[in-house]
Structure 1
Amino acid sequence: MCTGKCSLCIGKTLYPLALISAFCNIILFFPDWKVTYVQNKQITEEVKLMGGLVGGGVMVLIPAFHIYMTGERGWCANRIGMFLSIILAAVGVAGALYSFSVAVLGLYHGPLCKVGDEWITPFEYKNADYLKDRASWEKCTEPKNVVKFNSGLFSVLFFVSILQIILCGIQMINGLFGCLCGTCRDTENTRHNNVILTTTVHAA
């Protein structure tokens, strides 16, 4: 496949993934769909790290824009443009890895919730075994269904970040090929110029 077309495909795919990541992180700030817990600072610590918003969101969205433009505007014929796409794809990998790490911690530690009269993280030392024991979720009386809420959104962030790492990694390889071996656009331009030259010679 042309390195430019590959970049275009990767950029298009990264856009929605980055938006999904940012959206999930924002929603995590509002368990039970209420702002009360944010105001009272009763939010799970991993949510505050904003892995999905900063890492899987902003740090992937900016590379996604450049990668997409690399294919859309024909920058794939420009070796400097392809080199920049490698650097930005590496930034995307770093952002996705951050999002991945925060998601893993969020799933591992479990949510902050009210147990009795205390706000604690009751599943912090359960090694994520609580995810299989749904009966234990009932110990969190507030926010309502917070375990299901947090585990669902952190799971989405987990899988999205893996896809982002894979796609940005592919773009790094794709960009390297574009820098070292040239691009299909280079070949197409050469063929086009040869056709024009041949036509001119025959006409003369």
Structure 2
Amino acid sequence: MCCSVGFARTLGFGLLPLALCCILAHLLLLFPMGEISYLREDRLASYVWYFGGLGGGGALMLVPAVVFITLGKCNCCWNEGLMMCGSVLAAVVGLLGSGYCFVMSGFVLVQGPQCFTSYGWTYPFADQGGRYLLQPETWSRCLQPLNIVEWNVTLLCVLLGLAVLEFIICLLQLGNGLVNAVCRPCCYKQEYSLNA
């Protein structure tokens, strides 16, 4: 039990910086090139408002991180099974959050940014199905905000990578918790039969 709790706590400490990085990356998406005017004028990609990084990969991911880190703080034996069940539920919440972050970041990446072009404010890459990502020579269509395509692509790729790492960590804890829940009663039966 101590090993599985220690493993879960390590995973929790690993999730914390990932969640904070997701929050930071999403906040940077809201302020292209550090400017607030585009946020005030509602000139951001529509999917950014679904808060994939801020909510899914960030705030929601703090739930499993805190649960994993605080696991094992109580030394009550009767609580051990309940603690591992709680960690499994928290891992499921984490899987949902990281999955949401990944999907939303993918949608924003495929859609491309809203930017000012020679035709006014529009989504110049929305109908390309993400092909613009392999055609950097077309990125100059966006006149304002300056370098918005590079800004969005970089931050969204960071969010995609962080979401994958968060998903893997939560999946590891889900497996850890389930294995512990299945094996723990067997171990107790063996201990009981040895003591008898």
Report the TM-score when normalising by structure 1. Answer: 0.85
| Aligned CA distance change for structure 1 residues 35 and 182 (closer, same or farther; 3 Å) | same
Deviations 1:127-154 (A, max 9, x none): 2111121110101000010000000000
Q: Tell me what 1:6 maps to.
A: 7
Aligned-partner residue type, residue 24 of structure 1: A
| Aligned CA distance change for structure 1 residues 57 and 75 (closer, same or farther; 3 Å) | farther
Q: Tell me what 2:116 maps to.
A: 114
Runs of 4+, deviation exceeding 4 Å: 71-77
Q: Tell me what 1:16 maps to.
A: 17
Deviations 1:29-84 (A, max 9, x none): 00021100011011111211110010001111111100111156568971101101
Deviations 1:97-146 (A, max 9, x none): 00000111111111010011511111111121111211101010000100
1:102 to 104, 115, 118: 104
2:95 to 93, 96, 99: 93
| Aligned CA distance change for structure 1 residues 74 and 58 (closer, same or farther; 3 Å) | farther
Instruction: Give the drift of 1:172.
Output: 0.8
Q: Distance in 1 between matches of 2:66 and 2:76?
A: 13
Q: Is the 8 A contact 1:75 1:81 kept in 2?
A: no
SS of aligned partner of 1:122: coil
- Once the two structures are superposed, the pairs formed by residues 39-58 of structure 1 within 5 Å of their partners are 39-58=40-59
Q: Do residues 178 (structure 1) and 184 (structure 2) align?
A: no
Q: Distance in 1 between matches of 2:141 and 2:184?
A: 60
Q: Is the 8 A contact 2:45 2:114 kept in 1?
A: yes
| Aligned CA distance change for structure 1 residues 102 and 74 (closer, same or farther; 3 Å) | farther
Aligned-partner residue type, residue 107 of structure 1: L
2:135 to 133, 146, 149: 133
| Aligned CA distance change for structure 1 residues 32 and 2 (closer, same or farther; 3 Å) | same
Q: Distance in 1 between matches of 2:66 and 2:96?
A: 16
Q: Is the 8 A contact 1:69 1:75 kept in 2?
A: no
Q: Is the 8 A contact 2:116 2:145 kept in 1?
A: yes
Report the TM-score when normalising by structure 2. Answer: 0.89
Deviates further, 46-55 or 63-72: 63-72
SS of aligned partner of 1:179: helix
Q: Is the 8 A contact 1:6 1:71 kept in 2?
A: no
Deviates further, 62-71 or 25-34: 62-71
Unaligned runs of 5+ in 1: 195-204
Q: Distance in 1 between matches of 2:101 and 2:76?
A: 29
Q: Distance in 1 between matches of 2:101 and 2:157?
A: 11
Q: Is the 8 A contact 2:16 2:65 kept in 1?
A: yes
Q: Is the 8 A contact 2:72 2:83 kept in 1?
A: no
| Aligned CA distance change for structure 1 residues 71 and 155 (closer, same or farther; 3 Å) | farther
Q: Distance in 1 between matches of 2:39 and 2:106?
A: 22
Q: Tell me what 2:71 maps to.
A: 70
Q: Give RMSD over aligned pairs.
A: 2.1
Instruction: Give the drift of 1:180.
Output: 2.2
